[in-house]
Amino acid sequence: MKLEISSNWRVRIAALLTTALLTSGGLLAIARQPLPAVTLTTANGAAVVSSGVVQPGRWLLVLVGPDCRTCERVLATVRAERDPSLAEHMVILVGGPAASVTPLSSRFPDLARATWLADPDRRMAAALHLPGTPVILGLSGPETEWSITGVPRTVNDVLSAMRSWIAPTPQKK
């Protein structure tokens, strides 16, 4: 059996690896797997099953802590971009009580189009075997594809990886 990777995917993989080398955290190997089934909560405490937040196509799941300066730096990176399409493809998961979502989200009004949820028991991070926060996961539908942990050295490194992931894939003719 021969595995072939299209040139488009080779470019994307090279970009992700380059980004990983340029970040202080780096690319974390994560098994391609369905998003774990966990119960999350909205800012007002309503339960949401993780399968209910899955977006069609490529999207980003950003795991942050409620009192994590490093996490806020990552969120500020996206905020600095002021690219609404990026936020529209993001689910920001705060590892803490539902009451921690509103104070954090209110500090990032540029990310209002993102879906903000809480993971009070941090079950998502545990199910994905993630070491801590911040973590940016690239997903395709319900499948995890890649992740970046830690804080970027430069804003452009992470933004480039995030933008290239959600960018439309060119159609073959």
In a domain, 2, yes or no: no
In a domain, 87, yes or no: yes
Q: Could you give the number of structural domains in the chain?
A: 1
Mean pLDDT by 10 residues, the chain (173 residues): 48 47 49 91 96 94 93 83 81 97 94 95 93 91 88 67 73 55
Extract the tokens encoding 22.
């340029």
In a domain, 74, yes or no: yes
pLDDT at 1: 42
- CA dihedral defined by 130, 29, 113, 45, rounded to 10 degrees? -20
In a domain, 11, yes or no: no
| Beta strand segments in the chain, E | 26-28, 39-41, 47-49, 58-64, 90-94, 115-118, 135-140, 143-149
- What pTM was computed for the model? 0.78
- Helix 69-81 and helix 155-166: axis angle, to 10°? 60
Q: What is the CATH number of the domain that holds 50?
A: 3.40.30.10
Domain coverage including residue 62: 25-166
